Amino acid sequence: MLPANLSGGLRGRDKKGDKIEFKGIGTLMALIVQKFGGTSVGSTDKIKNVAERVLRQQRQGHQMVVVLSAMSGQTDKLLGMAADMQAMPDPREMDMLLSTGEQVTIALFAMAVKAAGSDAISLLGDQVHIHTDAMHTKARIKEIDTELVHKHLDAGKVVVIAGFQGVDDDGDITTLGRGGSDTTAVALAAALKADACEIFTDVEGVYTTDPNICAQARKINMITYDEMLELASLGAKVLEIRSVGLAKRYKVPLHVRSTFSENEGTWVVEEEKIMESMLVSGITYNKNEARITITKVPDQPGIASKIFQPISDAGILVDMIIQNTRQGHMTDMTFTVMRTDYARTMEMVQKIAEDIEAESVTGDESIVKVSIVGVGMRNHSGIASTMFRIMSGEGINIMMISTSEIKVSCVIEEKYTELAVRALHSAFELDKENPPRVEQQ
């Protein structure tokens, strides 16, 4: 069942297809998009179990669209094979390769449904016309044509769609970036005007922090799109960030839950649907970070642009930037990039430093960004200072800080990741049944 205050906002379909109000997925015919991640379809037995689960819901009268990831580990395996072929593989060929993982699972899934005596059809991104731009390996969905999907649903089939892939204007296969099957599912749910989008994974929902590194982590029942956006962008990989952005834009009710239990998971909803919010709702960490410092940079107009323009032109995202106070006519500049872009950025920055006559360039790949997130922070002061106090109490040095309305992030040494996450989790009482809450304004 849906939480009571959500049910009014969701709609079901009657048998003629007209939309009518209903209370929860269980009662009337609904169109449901369900996405199963890599561990959920990691073996043929698991695929059979998932197919049975989907069929149980279809037998209750619902129209079922299933989006699948590749089997767990498969995309990494394909990336490894590509690395054996070419140092920097051609992105078009990379997408040709990476998209194969999902083709395997959707075909096996359709076979499992048929073996159970029902009907299904597997479809690739190209066949469903998931149109994307041409940015291979990180393409964005522009449009989805839903006609074919509706046709098969109306014929009573389970429609099984390959996640993570699309097709560009030239007819070339594209992929959406790691974790992109979440985005496929939400985009399809929005295009099909589905009644709900359920993301099935290997944990029971969205937790106060990664349950795999903090045993005290607790499942969150409801969270706002904005909080989830921050959590996803700051390292909580349970939902891919673009999927959350799309869900927010198209008001797709998202339900994150476990493939391996029947328990209710986490609903990601609009802020108005939540009466009370937690002061801090989650702690994240992101190890895909690296720091670069340029020392003794001449402190004059135009320098920041000389450093950061070429980096941005190369498609490298710079996250935090700190410029130290001036010493004479010199200053130090420190910034972070994704660790996967570190080597490339270092090479560029060393050349830039020579051009602008800076003294030296140093870097560090063993850092982590730890963040606290919560809409409750908007109306409460002192949250950031509590975070700094906890870090200092554990003897952890903070190298960089950044804040926004609903988050505070600190860069620290990577070796302190678990210690920092656990200490913050307990300091903000996220391990308690009733952590501090604030009423929504």
Please enumerate, by residue number, every residue annotated as part of a binding site for substrate: 75, 102
Shortest-Cβ-distance residue relative to ligand ADP: 37
Residues that contact ligand ASP, how many (by CB under 6 A)? 12
Query: How many residues form the binding site for ligand ADP (CB under 6 A)?
Result: 19
Structure tokens at 167: 């097709």
Question: Residue 112 belongs to what H/E stretch?
Answer: helix 100-115
Q: What is the phi-psi region of residue 93: left when phi exceeds 0, alpha when psi lies from -120 to 50, beta otherwise?
A: alpha
Task: State which amino acid sits at residue 241.
Answer: I
x/- track of binding to ligand ASP for residues 91-110 (CB under 6 A): ----------x---------
Q: Which stretch binds Mg ion (CB under 5 A): 155-163, 171-179, 243-251, 291-299?
A: 171-179
Angle at 183 between CA 311 and CA 91, to 5 degrees: 45
Distance of alpha carbon 290 from alpha carbon 367, whole angstroms: 6
Please compute, for residue 252, the number of CA atoms within 13 A of its CA located in the half-sphere on the CB side: 32
C-alpha distances out from residue 234 to 60, 299, 369, 407, Å: 39, 31, 8, 9
Minimum Å distance from CB 31 to ligand ADP? Answer: 22
Q: Contact with ligand ASP (CB under 6 A): which of 40, 75, 233, 417?
A: 75
Binding-site positions for ATP read 35-38, 201-202, 207, 237-238
Q: Counting contacts by CB under 6 A, is residue 337 touching ligand ASP?
A: no
Tokens of 64: 């079922």
- The span of 99-107, 144-152, 234-242, 350-358 binding ligand ADP (CB under 6 A) equals 234-242
Q: How far is the CB of 305 from ligand ADP (least distance, A)?
A: 36
286 touches ligand ADP (CB under 6 A): no
Start-end of H helices in 140-180? 147-154
Residue 183 touches ligand ADP, criterion: CB under 6 A: no
Side chain identity at residue 100, one-letter code: T
86 versus 263: smaller Cβ distance to ligand ADP: 263
Closer to ligand ASP by Cβ: residue 6 or 239: 239
**Any contact of residue 42 with Mg ion (CB under 5 A)?**
no
Among 130, 144, 238, 349, binds ligand ADP (CB under 6 A): 238
Among residues 182 and 332, whose Cβ is nearest to ligand ADP? 182
Figure out which of the listed residues 129, 178, 306, 344 binds ligand ASP, where binding follows CB under 6 A. Answer: 178
User: Which pair of structure tokens corresponds to residue 329?
Assistant: 């006519």
* Residues 401, 409: Cα–Cα separation, whole Å: 6
Q: Is 70 in the site for ligand ASP (CB under 6 A)?
A: yes
Query: What are the tokens at 393?
Result: 């109490």
User: Binding residue for Mg ion (CB under 5 A) from 179, 253, 265, 435?
Assistant: 179
Separation of alpha carbons 68 and 75, rounded Å: 13
> Do the Cβ atoms of 121 and 109 come closer than 8 Å?
no
Rounded-to-integer distance, Cα 427 and Cα 220, Å? 17
Type and span of the H or E element at 59: helix 44-59
> Strands 173-175 and 165-167: what pairing?
antiparallel
Helices (H) and strands (E) in the chain, counts: 13, 24
Q: Pick one of ligand ADP, ligand ASP, Mg ion, none as the site partner of residue 180 (Cβ within 5 to 8 A by kind).
A: ligand ASP
Q: Which does 70 bind (CB under 5 to 8 A by kind): ligand ADP, Mg ion, ligand ASP, none?
A: ligand ASP
Our CB check for ligand ASP shows the closer of 36 and 428 to be 36
Q: How far is the CB of 368 from ligand ASP (least distance, A)?
A: 21
| 206 scored as a contact of ligand ADP (CB under 6 A) | yes
SS (H, E, C) 313-357: HCCCCEEEEEECCCECCEEEEEEEEEHHHHHHHHHHHHHHHHHCC
Minimum CB separation of residue 183 from ligand ADP in Å reads 11
Q: Which two tokens stand for residue 49?
A: 């179990």
Residue 44, phi-psi category: left (phi > 0), alpha (psi -120 to 50), beta (remainder):
alpha
**What part of residues 142-181 is at the interface with ligand ADP (CB under 6 A)?**
179
Rounded to 10 deg, the angle between the 342-355 and 303-313 helix axes is 150
Tell me phi and psi for residue 117, to 5 degrees. Answer: 90, 10
One-letter amino acid at 27 equals T
Residue placing its CB nearer to ligand ASP in the complex, 180 or 205: 180
- The stretch among 69-77, 116-124, 210-218, 222-230 that binds ligand ASP (CB under 6 A) is 69-77
Nearest to 312 by CA among 335, 280, 287: 335
User: Strand, helix or coil at 197?
Assistant: strand
125 binds ligand ASP (CB under 6 A): no
Only one of the segments 34-42, 44-52, 352-360, 411-419 lies at the binding site for ligand ADP (rule: CB under 6 A); that segment is: 34-42
428 binds ligand ASP (CB under 6 A): no
Q: Does the protein bind ligand ADP through residue 42 (CB under 6 A)?
A: no
Q: For binding to ligand ASP (CB under 6 A), which residues are involved? A: 37-38, 69-70, 75, 101, 163-164, 178-181
- Chain contacts with ligand ADP (rule: CB under 6 A): 37-40, 69, 179, 201-203, 206-207, 209-212, 236-238, 282
